[in-house]
Each structure stands twice: as C-alpha cells, then as structure tokens.
C-alpha cells in the first residue's frame, strides 16, 4: 500500500509519526517499522513542524552508480558498489539551512534517491532484499568538492561530505513504489539542474541492499543514497535548492553562510 510517512513535532513539542492525507497528517501509533497502528486523529499539516522522517544509525552514499554520469566522466563500471558513509552530524531536517563551511570552499549539490531500510538485515540475498526495504526518500548529498583530492595520498570522501548540515533528507518516506519508475529532479534557484531516471543505476535497489549487507548490518531507518547523475554543480550562499522525486516528495533547503545566520540571531 502506498503511504507517505512523516515524523513531526506538535505545538507541545511532542514528536510523533504519521502519514500525509492531503493537507493533513494522520497519526499512527506504535513503531513505524513494526506493525504501526492507524489512529483516528488527524492534524492540519500547517500546525506541525516536519522533522527527519527517520533516524538513521548511518547513511551510506554511492559513487559511480549511474551510467550517464560515469560515461561522462570516463569511469569504467565498478564490479561492486563503491560507497562511503555520511556521519550523523550532517543530517539536516527538511526546510533546514545548509551551512557553508567557510572560506573559499566550493560546495556542490547532488540530488539523490534514498533507500530506507525497514527491517534489520545482514547478508541477505538479492531475492530477499526488498523484504527489508521500507520505502524511499529524497536526499541531497552535499559535498565540498575541492577537499576531495586536496591530499594526493588520500581521497577525503567522508570529510568532504560530512560537514554539519550536509545531508538533508525527507520530508517523507514513500512506500509501495517501484524505484525503477522514478525520476530525480534537482532545482537550483528555480532552474532545473538535474533530471534523470533511477532506472539508469548500475546497481539496482535489491542489489545494493544485498551487496552492502554482506559488509555491514543494515538497521531500520538506515538510508542508502543511490548516487547521482549528470547535472551536479556548485551553489552559492543565498540559494534555494530543491530535490524532487515525483511520487516520493520534494525536499527544499536554503544554503547560507554561517556568519549571516549568526548576525541575524544576534
């Protein structure tokens, strides 16, 4: 069944979860991943504050997983998924502000589809993998591009991608969808910069879950970012960046200098 799951804070500060029903949120009880119970109460979406839809123990991000971008960069197809981990300090709620780390850093947007794990899995087969997938979300794998190869002896993937606020995702987790039918669009200041089909992935959803679970346990709420495709580019402070996946949701964040936010709060 198709649902759009959210976590949200009510006016009293309590954090709950539910599903979107038009401009209202249906409250559910129990655990989102284990036999959630549908409630009778709904709340106007305007009266709640959306939070991260899930709380991952880790976010895994793929490199060179789309044929179009790999071909453009002259990269050969990898024999197995190539990935890194984005650290929890980088997680950013929908509507939150991505912060420039300072200096002359070149900050890049990467609109991506996120796979949300719903059942713990370790060394699952590809045939069994989808039983462990809860749904899909929108994500922006923000990166400081000029840090990556600053030191010729060591590619700094985790550092470049794990600054505070560098992993916005949400606002919903959509269930009951076939990922191969989806498209990812990234819009920067009203201009479409990315528009690519998920079906172009080198490793599909079931393959990613199965192959990564051979290395590490995947827990409920963990997210696998599927990688990105052509159209990646830099963004300047003062920008609005949107990652939209029709059928899944629309993630909107501002990008600002940290100093400007400090001045406004002072």
Over residues 146-159, the pLDDT tens digits come to: 999 999 999 999 99
Domain count, the chain: 2
Q: Can you give the pLDDT at residue 260? A: 55
- pLDDT grade, residue 85 (50/70/90)? very high
Whether 80 and 152 share a structural domain: yes
Q: Which residue has better confidence, 260 or 24?
A: 24
The pTM of the full predicted model, rounded to 2 decimals, is: 0.95
Kindly report, residue by residue over 169-204, the tens digit of the pLDDT: 999 999 999 999 999 999 999 999 999 999 999 999
Supply 96's token pair.
């939150």
Host H or E run for residue 134? strand 133-140
**What are the angstrom distances between the C-alpha of 184 and each of 4, 123, 179?**
17, 29, 11
Q: Is 35 a residue whose pLDDT tops 90?
A: yes
Whether 30 and 82 share a structural domain: no
Whether 72 and 144 share a structural domain: yes
Q: Are 231 and 194 in contact (CB under 8 A)?
A: yes
Return the SS3 of 148.
Answer: coil
Whether 146 and 258 share a structural domain: yes
Asked if the bond preceding 147 is cis, omega within 30° of 0, the reply is: no
Interval 57-80 mean pLDDT: 98
Q: Can you give the pLDDT at residue 237? A: 96
Q: Where residue 30 sits, what CATH number does that domain have? A: 2.30.30.370
- pLDDT grade, residue 13 (50/70/90)? confident
Supply 171's token pair.
């606002």
Whether 247 and 161 share a structural domain: yes
Interval 212-236 mean pLDDT: 98
For 15, the domain range is: 3-51
Cα–Cα dist 168/87, whole Å:
12
Classify strands 59-63 and 223-225 as parallel, antiparallel or unpaired. parallel
């Amino acid at each position: 069944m198709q649902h759009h799951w959210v976590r949200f804070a009510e006016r009293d500060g309590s954090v709950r979860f539910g599903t979107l029903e038009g401009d209202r949120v249906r409250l559910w009880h129990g655990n989102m991943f284990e036999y959630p119970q549908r409630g009778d109460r709904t709340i106007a979406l305007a009266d709640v504050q959306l939070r991260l839809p899930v709380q991952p123990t880790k976010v895994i991000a793929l490199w060179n997983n789309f044929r179009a971008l790999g071909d453009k960069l002259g990269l050969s197809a990898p024999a197995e998924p190539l990935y890194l981990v984005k650290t929890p300090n980088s997680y950013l709620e929908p509507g939150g502000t991505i912060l420039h780390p300072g200096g002359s850093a070149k900050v890049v947007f990467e609109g991506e589809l996120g796979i949300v794990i719903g059942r713990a899995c370790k060394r699952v087969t590809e045939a069994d993998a989808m039983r462990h997938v809860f749904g899909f979300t929108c994500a922006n794998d923000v990166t400081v591009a000029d840090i990556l190869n600053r030191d010729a002896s060591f590619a700094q993937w985790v550092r470049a991608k794990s600054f505070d606020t560098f992993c916005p995702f949400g606002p919903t987790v959509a269930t009951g969808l076939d990922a191969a039918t989806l498209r990812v669009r990234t819009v920067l200041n009203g201009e479409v910069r990315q528009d690519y089909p998920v079906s172009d992935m080198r490793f599909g959803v079931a393959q990613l879950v199965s192959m990564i679970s051979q290395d590490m346990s995947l827990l409920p709420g963990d997210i696998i970012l599927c990688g990105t495709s052509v159209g990646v580019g830099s963004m300047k402070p003062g920008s609005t960046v949107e990652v939209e996946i029709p059928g899944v949701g629309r993630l909107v964040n501002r990008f600002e200098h940290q100093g400007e936010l400090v001045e406004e709060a002072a």
